[in-house]
């Protein structure tokens, strides 16, 4: 929506540094999607490097950063060697298994744990292309490849420990697993039926699994020790008001379960969705008004009542007086009426590449199943492009 999130990210990183200062940990894991794009703006790079520099001055001896589907392998790798001087392990791609094994040591240099840093695994990293393979065969081979990669890393970790079973192994990865709850702002990772990857993917050797990709903090399935930490700030109005967390995980020396503490991240800027009739909208906006350092951002959905330019202007005026910024006013009624009406004329700018593709497919005389296959293929292409360098 054309707004910079620099302030919120700055405040979050300052808060995180303070948390780690007051409560030092042996290792910090950042489970991918360090940046939102392959070509991050300079302010974002500055925040990243300054954070890692400041953290290196505190007591955190290990930082593990893995690449996500939004990250460019080239961007993350370019400063990998330099960052290793600050005890930051950047694992950008899955091409080198040894690199994914990070030995965590205490202040006497004795090993106290292993972190298996598994980045977002691109198709070409885990699957050999075979000519003439069908879409389903490719998807199957991909899932097999991902599972094998996780197993191989876990095996290598066990081998590194050489029988010392009291040392915990922590896995970290960036992927979408079955049964997880999405919001509408995660860019789709779509590789075949990747949704079929369930928590059985994760090797038994792992004592805890820190996952990235989904924006909502959550457990995977019924397991307490497989978790998505979620994003530190809400990235769209679909996440408005959602609590955000970092997880502080303590793994006991005995074989017992890890101790997990969810530490709530302050809401540095409030995002709120207001759904209301025209008559009630002023009251609803007044209800959320508080004295915040950063202006509250709202999205207003008008469900009923007289609409028009005048109403939109009135909403913006009310909000401005209350130090609230209106990012969007949506007309719910109009939208549902339009959806019923087939003759929506949209400009190309309003459509996503997927929607354009779907519209084109509608012109073809093919059955639903076949159309689904084409759509899946197209999603795969989009997710590949998203993961590449974009300018
Ligand atoms: Mn992701």
Given 218, 241, 265, the domain boundary residue is 265
Tell me the CA–centroid distance for residue 35 and ligand 1, in Å: 10
Q: Are residues 114 and 205 in the same domain?
A: yes
Q: Are residues 67 and 117 in the same domain?
A: yes
CATH of residue 323? 3.30.160.720
Tell me the CA–centroid distance for residue 214 and ligand 1, in Å: 7
CA distance 226 to 114: 16
**pLDDT score at 181:** 65
What tokens appear for 130 in the block? 């075979």
Is 10 inside a domain boundary?
yes
- pTM of the full structure: 0.82
Tell me the CA–centroid distance for residue 213 and ligand 1, in Å: 4
Q: pLDDT tens track of the chain, all 391 residues?
A: 889 999 999 999 999 999 999 999 999 999 999 998 889 999 999 999 999 999 999 978 899 999 999 999 999 999 999 999 999 999 999 999 999 999 999 888 889 999 999 999 988 888 887 888 887 788 888 888 999 999 999 999 999 988 777 899 999 999 988 766 666 666 555 444 445 577 788 999 899 999 999 999 999 877 889 999 999 999 999 999 899 999 999 998 777 789 999 999 999 999 999 998 888 888 999 988 888 889 999 999 888 777 677 788 888 999 998 889 999 888 876 555 555 554 455 666 678 888 889 888 888 888 888 888 888 888 888 877 766 544 3
Look at residues 286, 299, 295, 298 and name the one whose alpha carbon lies nearest to residue 323. 295
Q: Are residues 322 and 386 in the same domain?
A: no
Q: Are residues 307 and 356 in the same domain?
A: no
Tell me the CA–centroid distance for residue 186 and ligand 1, in Å: 7
Is 319 inside a domain boundary?
yes
CA distance 46 to 55: 14
Residue 163, phi then psi, degrees to nearest 5: 85, -5
**pLDDT score at 192:** 41
Asked whether 135 and 376 are in contact (CB, 8 A), the reply is yes
Q: Are residues 285 and 178 in the same domain?
A: no
Tell me the CA–centroid distance for residue 234 and ligand 1, in Å: 14
Tell me the CA–centroid distance for residue 187 and ligand 1, in Å: 7
Tell me the CA–centroid distance for residue 291 and ligand 1, in Å: 34
Q: Are residues 205 and 235 in the same domain?
A: yes
Given 218, 246, 265, the domain boundary residue is 265
* Total number of domains in the chain: 3
Is 1 inside a domain boundary?
no
Is 144 inside a domain boundary?
yes
Rg value, the chain, Cα:
23
CA distance 312 to 316: 6
Q: Are residues 238 and 260 in the same domain?
A: yes
Is 280 inside a domain boundary?
yes
Strands 244-250 and 259-265: antiparallel
Tell me the CA–centroid distance for residue 1 and ligand 1, in Å: 20
Q: Are residues 157 and 178 in the same domain?
A: yes
Given 343, 358, 377, the domain boundary residue is 343
CA distance 42 to 305: 45
CA distance 172 to 211: 6
Q: Are residues 236 and 361 in the same domain?
A: no
The domain in which residue 86 lies consists of 6-265
Q: Are residues 66 and 214 in the same domain?
A: yes
Residues with a beta carbon under 5 angstroms from ion ligand 1:
33, 68-69, 213
Q: Are residues 230 and 328 in the same domain?
A: no
Tell me the CA–centroid distance for residue 91 and ligand 1, in Å: 15
Tell me the CA–centroid distance for residue 166 and ligand 1, in Å: 32
Q: Are residues 300 and 289 in the same domain?
A: yes
Tell me the CA–centroid distance for residue 163 and ligand 1, in Å: 34
CB contact burial 183-199 (16+ within 10 A = b; e otherwise): beebeebbbbebeebeb
Asked whether 388 and 72 are in contact (CB, 8 A), the reply is yes
Is 41 inside a domain boundary?
yes
């Amino acid at each position: 929506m054309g707004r910079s999130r620099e302030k919120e990210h700055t405040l979050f990183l300052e808060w995180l540094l303070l948390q780690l200062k007051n409560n030092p940990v042996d290792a910090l894991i950042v489970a991918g999607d360090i940046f939102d794009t392959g070509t991050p703006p300079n302010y974002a790079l500055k925040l990243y490097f300054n954070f890692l520099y400041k953290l290196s001055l505190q007591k955190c001896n290990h930082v593990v950063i893995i690449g996500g589907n939004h990250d460019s392998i080239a961007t993350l790798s370019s400063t990998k060697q330099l960052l290793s001087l600050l005890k930051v392990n950047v694992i950008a791609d899955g091409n080198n298994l040894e690199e994914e094994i990070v030995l965590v040591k205490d202040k006497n240099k004795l090993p106290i744990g292993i972190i298996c840093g598994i980045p977002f695994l691109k198709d070409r990293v885990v699957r050999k292309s075979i000519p003439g393979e069908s879409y389903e065969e490719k998807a199957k081979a991909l899932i097999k490849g991902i599972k094998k990669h996780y197993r191989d890393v876990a095996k290598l970790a066990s081998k590194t420990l050489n029988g010392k079973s009291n040392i915990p192994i922590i896995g970290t990865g960036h992927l979408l697993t079955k049964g997880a709850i999405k919001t509408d702002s995660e860019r789709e990772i779509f590789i075949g039926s990747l949704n079929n990857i369930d928590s059985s993917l994760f090797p038994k050797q792992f004592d805890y699994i820190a996952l990235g990709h989904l924006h909502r903090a959550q457990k995977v399935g019924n397991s307490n020790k497989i978790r998505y930490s979620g994003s530190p700030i809400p990235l769209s109005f679909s996440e408005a008001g959602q609590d955000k967390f970092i997880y502080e995980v303590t793994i006991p020396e005995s074989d017992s379960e890890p101790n997990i503490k969810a530490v709530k991240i302050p809401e540095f800027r409030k995002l709120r969705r207001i759904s209301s009739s025209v008559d009630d909208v002023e009251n609803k906006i007044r209800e959320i008004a508080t004295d915040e350092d950063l202006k509250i951002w709202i999205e207003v959905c008008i469900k009923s009542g007289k609409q028009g330019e005048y109403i939109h202007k009135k909403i913006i005026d009310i909000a401005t007086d209350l130090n609230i910024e209106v990012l969007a006013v949506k007309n719910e009624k109009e939208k549902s009426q339009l959806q019923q009406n087939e003759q929506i004329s949209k400009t190309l700018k309003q459509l996503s590449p997927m929607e354009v593709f779907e519209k084109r497919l509608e012109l073809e005389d093919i059955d639903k199943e076949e159309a689904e296959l084409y759509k899946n293929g197209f999603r795969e292409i989009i997710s590949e492009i998203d993961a590449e360098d974009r300018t």
